[in-house]
A = this chain, B = another copy of it.
Amino acid sequence: MCGFRLVQIVGRSCIIQNVRAYQKMSCDTINPHVVKLQYAVRGPIVLRALELEKEISQGSKKRFDKIIRCNIGDCHASGQRPISFIREVLCATTNTQIMDTNLVQDDAKLRARRFLDSCGGSVGVYSQSTGVEVVREDVAQYIEQRDQLSANPQNIFLSNGASEAVKSILQLISTGEDGSRRSGVMVPIPQYPLYSATNAEYNAYQIDYYLDESNGWDLSIEQLEEALNKCKDKCIPRALVVINPGNPTGQLLSKDTITSVLKFAYKHNLVVLADEVYQHNIYAPDTGFTSFKRALHDIRGRISTELQLASFMSCSKGYMGECGLRGGYCELVNFPEDVQQQLYKSLSARLCSSLLGQLTMDVVVNPPKPHEPSYNSFMEEKSSVLEELKQKAELTTKSLNSLQGFSCNPITGAMYAFPRIDLPKKAIEIAKSKGMQPDFMYCLELLEEYGVCVVPGSGFGQVPGTWHFRT
């Protein structure tokens, strides 16, 4: 914006001075991928909930006293109590004077001491970019016990929650060009919007595949093939994201399904991103959690030593729910050495993830053992949280299905329900006349009228013409 300003009128002639205005950034001049990025879990409904909370705290009268936040898997915010053992270790590590008291158990002190010894005596140091070595060793042991397969600490890196690890892998495979060279990333619909947000951020082409609501949100290979076929000319498909147990859909995949998914990925040269952060949240009576790594190994043959797999875990979910501490890890399977080095190099510019997040992850993968003093209380607290989540899952499904116009698949894993709502034709028309998605309008009214904050299905994706919300 160059302009001219009339500065002085002398007789009949004007003295005009060239005035160059400072050009501020605008949404047209900043990174277009940032503008495109959407993240519904923190979208307009949640911002409105924040406003309402402020209004209530300032004395404004509503039909409710407080907002019930069902928008996000934020366990402690929903009243879940932290696991004492985790907090004992954290407090002894941050303030070593606690070690000289009886305020924390000996096994908590032991973990605090071991962690401090491995990082030079203070949580105030930078760790290696991939994380403190003993934590990566403990993660490897945890995976070995879970899968009965060897795991190498060199193939594990620690991150600020699982989100940071997911982003770093998606960044690694995004080639960011338009047209035929652009990377394609297959993402389930409905999905956790971190994936769509990150694909927008790194300009990857998102290939949506639908989960089958009529079949307990199952994942069908036909659907994967169909989705892939549709967009082969728009990108180079490079990765396949699977969330197991599902978010927002709450389903647990069977080992057979996982095996088929892995074979599909192998056939099409895809890297598999297995979001397994809900691996402790299993409510199905007879089925346990099978990791993608275990299923891959059991296929045997070249696929098991070739297919590239990244598995993500977090300390924000499960029985611990320590979202705010930002602990997570990623295990890389069959990644070429040089690519892995490139990834680790890219992590180094952020120096390291939070050391207390790393420590929390350490306690999760190395909990008290049967002979240790905290074992009984730890197991009691853990079971109690998981039992409560299971009851909530059953109650939620039952209540939703008893309501007219609602239908909800059984929740066999994770922490969410994603019920379908049959909206009357008239409601859909009103929403459209207001320029809103019908499920968005429904969620907004639920918030304004009852103070309940849930996220509309459109933020996660849904079959066109169907409406849902996540709670």
Chain B nearest CB: distance from A391 CB in Å? Answer: 21
Contact indicator A326/B345 (Cβ below 8 Å): no
Contact indicator B126/A323 (Cβ below 8 Å): yes
User: Which single residue of chain B is at the shortest CB-CB distance from A90?
Assistant: B94
Most buried by B among A171, A203, A307: A171
Copies in the complex: 2
Chain B nearest CB: distance from A158 CB in Å? Answer: 12
Complex CA distance for A334 and B348, rounded to whole angstroms:
31
Contact indicator A356/B271 (Cβ below 8 Å): no
Contact indicator B103/A349 (Cβ below 8 Å): no
Give chain B residues whose Cβ lies under 8 Å from the Cβ of A407: none
Complex CA distance for A175 and B36, rounded to whole angstroms:
13
Contact indicator A22/B302 (Cβ below 8 Å): yes
Contact indicator B22/A306 (Cβ below 8 Å): yes
A18-37 interface code vs B (CB 8 A; 1 in, 0 out)? 00101111110111111101
Contact indicator A324/B94 (Cβ below 8 Å): no
Chain B nearest CB: distance from A126 CB in Å? Answer: 5
Q: Is A208 an interface residue when CB atoms closer than 8 A count as contact?
A: no
Q: Is A439 an interface residue when CB atoms closer than 8 A count as contact?
A: no
Contact indicator A22/B348 (Cβ below 8 Å): no
Contact indicator B94/A34 (Cβ below 8 Å): no
Give chain B residues whose Cβ lies under 8 Å from the Cβ of A124: 75-76, 82, 320-325
Chain B nearest CB: distance from A334 CB in Å? Answer: 8
Q: Is A351 an interface residue when CB atoms closer than 8 A count as contact?
A: yes
Give chain B residues whose Cβ lies under 8 Å from the Cβ of A322: 124
Contact indicator A27/B72 (Cβ below 8 Å): no
Complex CA distance for A33 and B176, rounded to whole angstroms:
9
Chain A, range 374-389, C-beta contacts under 8 Å to B: none
A81-111 interface code vs B (CB 8 A; 1 in, 0 out)? 0100001101110110110010110000000
Give chain B residues whose Cβ lies under 8 Å from the Cβ of A41: 348
Q: Is A163 an interface residue when CB atoms closer than 8 A count as contact?
A: yes
Give chain B residues whose Cβ lies under 8 Å from the Cβ of A437: none
User: Which single residue of chain B is at the shortest CB-CB distance from A194?
Assistant: B349
Contact indicator B345/A39 (Cβ below 8 Å): yes
Q: Is A269 an interface residue when CB atoms closer than 8 A count as contact?
A: yes
Q: Is A291 an interface residue when CB atoms closer than 8 A count as contact?
A: no
Q: Is A191 an interface residue when CB atoms closer than 8 A count as contact?
A: no
Contact indicator A160/B326 (Cβ below 8 Å): yes
Chain B nearest CB: distance from A92 CB in Å? Answer: 8
Q: Is A338 an interface residue when CB atoms closer than 8 A count as contact?
A: yes
Give chain B residues whose Cβ lies under 8 Å from the Cβ of A334: 24
Beyond A37-B349, A356-B356, 13 extra complex contacts between A and B, CB < 8 Å: A22-B269, A22-B302, A24-B308, A29-B175, A29-B238, A34-B172, A76-B120, A124-B321, A126-B324, A127-B324, A163-B350, A201-B346, A354-B354
Q: Which 7 A-B pairs have the closest CB atoms?
A: A324-B355, A91-B95, A76-B122, A42-B348, A76-B124, A354-B354, A197-B349
User: 13 A–B contact pairs at CB < 8 A?
Assistant: A22-B307, A27-B338, A31-B171, A39-B348, A42-B351, A75-B124, A76-B122, A90-B94, A90-B95, A91-B98, A124-B324, A167-B350, A193-B349
